[in-house]
Chain A
Amino acid sequence: MQQSVNYLGLIPLFPLLGAVFIGLLHVFTCKKVRLPEKLYGLLACVGPVLSFILALKVFVALKALPVESRSLSHVVFTWFSVGDLHINMGFLADPLSCLMLLFVTFIGSLIHIYSIGYMGGDKNYGKFFAYMNLFLGSMLVLVLGDSPVVMFVGWEGVGLCSYLLISFYSEDHQNVLAGNKAFIVNRIGDLGFVLGMAFLFWGIGAHGFDFLSLRANVGNLTATTSLIVCLLLFVGATGKSAQIPLYVWLPDAMAGPTPVSALIHAATMVTAGVYMVARFSFIYSTVELAGDIIAWTGILTALLAAIFGMFQDDIKKVLAYSTVSQLGYMFAGVGVAAYSAGIFHVFTHAFFKALLFLGAGSVIYALHHEQNIWKMGGLKAKMPTTYITMVIGALALSGCPPFSGFFSKDEILYSALATGHFGIWIVGVLVAGMTAFYTFRMIFLVFHGEPRDQKAFDHAQESPAVMTVPLIILAVGALFAGFFNLPGIFGGGQLVSHWLAPSLTEHHPHAGVFVEIIAIGASIVAFLIGIKIAYTKFGLGASVPVFKGFADFAYHKFYVDEMYNAIIVQPYKAIGASIWKTIDPNVTDGPIKAASKIYMTMGTAFKVFQIGYVRIYAIYMIVGLSLISLFLSQSLN
């Protein structure tokens, strides 16, 4: 029996209220006076921090319950009820959503605090925080929703906020285009999600459409419907979580302010897809084919993004592709039915990716919005805190033991190997090496060697405490988050996996210590090779390279954007234009114009009766009255 707790609804409510309040405050004051930034900063941080405190409370409450009945719920009101479909505005906290809740609110709060410093001096300071709060609130709705429909509300909410925040610097047309791209690409994915929901409802929706009922009734789903549902929902996930073929929006999303990138990549938005697949693990675990498709899509995305990441020269783009790549790992994890490993990677990734982005933000802030890594160098001496924290983040990202990324990535690769997916494992190890290479290429170019732009270097200085303190906290997280799920071979208890077990449907593969040692050994070797190559090429200083052949091809991201543009966007535009030029005036406009013409003619025809002479109206009156009298006298007889 699940327990009902009424504070569950407050968790998303706090940031949403914050968004409304800050938004109104900004709208009503921005024309006349400029409110102090401290006020906005304070208001903005209240919501996320309160949510985090409540999330802790949820965690404690769940912990107190016996393992098999760990779920809390709260139905706020009945949203709508049509036929068999009864949708409540309800929230559900089980171990899975609780874990997401904890790190989303924690990292979200830190990013808000960091933004107080980073966004200082921006003229739309208030607007920025209103959007940020809305973003976090939407993500919390997504995480806590007790049915796919409520989840979808949050799903759309984060899509909207990503659009608003990516095109935040809207004076530059390029940024607006990036926002549009993110929104449109996400819409394609969302369509998949909606269709998936419809099929799911068609299959087993009649007995309740919340996650618990669906899970109980999943046995009634036919194999074909399951497959269709899985694949359609996965299309939604590829949009939100930037997988092949819909990953193209994420690198462009770098147009937004850096804290937004951190929020999108670490805490909100992109993790939604992985979370959704884990949430539906009760269906996915029944369809092996869908799992294989997901795993292969994931690992190929990881490979592709890693290749792109090796040749980028924008510090944020490098990180963006690394996110795409890591998301690929997560999908590989959930694809081979290691849902807890995938979610664990989401969890650790949130720490080190937020750390890396905020560190990159700190560098960009110090260099007055310079993002090209070929214009940086030698910053180690100037920005020691940023340097040390970023190195910790980089080590975690590249999977160096004992940093958090190592354990989560290794868990995924081990699961792939143990379930017999050798191809995925080999590609995964290769990508691990590439990850180490491009991450340390970035670190070496930014912080080591000689400064390439002396003027910018001279002006650079360490960021204020409001920015470095979140970095330090996140660095601690990136260092130690891995120990929560220490595998048995290191004497750990796999706390996260056991914690998540009641919400997921998965079987832990047991392939023996030997396989585990192979997996770990291969990961470490790949990491060492990657970092070695990066050091020899960039560690001692390097100049701007000239890309030729394959490198040039990869530098241009395999021309995927251009291909999409040529294959999809341009024909679509052409169709639109031809409809506008031919069908619109000839087909659509015809009946409308005809209708207006009919009214015009009728108007002219009846105009003669309305000449305005009083006596003519008197005649109408008399004729009318006479006719009525005649009719009455007839009917009386």
Chain B
Amino acid sequence: MIHNYLLLSILLFCLGIVGVISRRNVFTVFMSIELMLNAANLAFITFSRMHESMNGHVLAMMVIAVAAAEAALALAVVILLHKHKSTLDTNVFSLLKG
């Protein structure tokens, strides 16, 4: 019964991976990463429930906090990228040299 939660978590994670690999829009890639983070959160909560310990909860809360901070940074980077090349296509940003 509880395995279904894990299956859902795996499904979400794989969706995230596919999104990161296949999509070329920076925003979509970013959202896919968030999806993967949340899939991990779900797995944490599930395991927490299974083992009847609060450790998973703590980690999940931390992931949420980190994700929030990361979102703030990443969005700023996205704005800068857009200013730089006037596009959000990741294939355009293929050189380390600006």
- A-side interface residues toward B, CB under 8 Å? 611-615, 618-619, 622
Contact = CB atoms under 8 A, between A and B. Distances in A.
B22 A614 contact: no
Interface stretch (B2-10, B37-45, B48-56, B89-97): B89-97
B72 to A, nearest CB: 20
Given A619-B21, A622-B17, A614 B90 contact: yes
A615 B95 CA distance: 13
Contact of A612 (B22, B23, B94): B94
Contacts of A618: 20-21
A611 B93 CA distance: 11
Contacts, number: 22
19 contacts: A611-B94, A612-B94, A612-B95, A612-B96, A613-B90, A613-B91, A613-B94, A614-B90, A614-B93, A615-B20, A615-B21, A615-B23, A615-B24, A615-B90, A618-B20, A618-B21, A619-B21, A622-B17, A622-B21
Nearest to B33: A618
Nearest to A619: B21
B35 interface: no
A544 B91 CA distance: 92
B60 interface: no
Nearest to B94: A612
A618 B22 CA distance: 10
B82 to A, nearest CB: 15
B29 interface: yes
Contacts of B95: 612
Nearest to A621: B20
Given A612-B94, A614-B90, 12 more contacts: A611-B94, A612-B95, A613-B90, A613-B94, A614-B29, A614-B93, A615-B21, A615-B29, A618-B20, A619-B21, A622-B17, A622-B21
A611 B96 CA distance: 11
A127 B17 CA distance: 74
A619 B95 CA distance: 18
Contacts of A622: 17, 21
A627 to B, nearest CB: 15
Nearest to A612: B94
Interface of B: 17, 20-24, 29, 90-91, 93-96
B83 to A, nearest CB: 18
A622 B94 CA distance: 19
Contacts of B93: 614
Contacts of A613: 90-91, 94
Contacts of A619: 21
Q: Which of A611, A615, A622 has the most CB of B within 10 A?
A: A615
Contacts of A614: 29, 90, 93
A624 to B, nearest CB: 13
Contacts of B20: 615, 618
A297 B95 CA distance: 77
Contacts of B22: 615
A618 to B, nearest CB: 5
Q: Which of A611, A614, A622 has the most CB of B within 10 A?
A: A614
B40 to A, nearest CB: 13
Contacts of B90: 613-615
A622 B36 CA distance: 12
A541 to B, nearest CB: 87
A188 to B, nearest CB: 57
B31 to A, nearest CB: 14
A261 B54 CA distance: 94
A264 B73 CA distance: 77
Contacts of B23: 615
Contacts of A612: 94-96
Contacts of B29: 614-615
A612 B22 CA distance: 15
A454 B22 CA distance: 102
Contacts of B96: 612
B53 to A, nearest CB: 21
Contacts of B17: 622
A369 to B, nearest CB: 64
Q: Which of B22, B94, B96 has the most CB of A within 10 A?
A: B94
A622 B16 CA distance: 12
Nearest to B32: A618
Nearest to A622: B17
A615 B20 CA distance: 6
Nearest to A616: B21
B85 to A, nearest CB: 14
A622 to B, nearest CB: 6
Nearest to A618: B20
Contacts of B91: 613
A394 to B, nearest CB: 80
Contacts of B21: 615, 618-619, 622
A612 B20 CA distance: 15
Nearest to B91: A613
B67 to A, nearest CB: 18
A301 B24 CA distance: 91
A482 to B, nearest CB: 84
A614 B93 CA distance: 8
Lowest 8 A-B CB distances belong to which pairs?
Answer: A612-B94, A618-B20, A614-B90, A615-B21, A613-B94, A619-B21, A613-B91, A618-B21
B16 to A, nearest CB: 10
Nearest to B93: A614
B60 to A, nearest CB: 21
B98 to A, nearest CB: 13
A622 B90 CA distance: 18
